[in-house]
Amino acid sequence: MKRTYQPNNRKKAKKHGFFARVETNILNKRRKKGRKELVK
């Protein structure tokens, strides 16, 4: 039987990675706030 979590790095990066964040305004908001680290 297959386990439920089948990790896929590309899929993960597309959803939560840097470029996914660039497309929304999250990074700009964090820059405005003066965040030391923009993305984890």
Q: What is the pLDDT of residues 1-40, one digit of tens each?
A: 999 999 999 999 999 999 999 999 999 999 999 999 999 8
Q: 3-class DSSP state for residue 19?
A: helix
Which are the contacts of 14, defined by CB distance < 8 A and separation ≥ 6? 20
pLDDT in the model for residue 35 = 94
pLDDT in the model for residue 40 = 81
Contact indicator for 39, 21 with CB cutoff of 8 Å: yes
- Using only C-alpha atoms, the chain has a radius of gyration, in whole angstroms, of 14
pLDDT in the model for residue 1 = 94
pLDDT in the model for residue 11 = 97
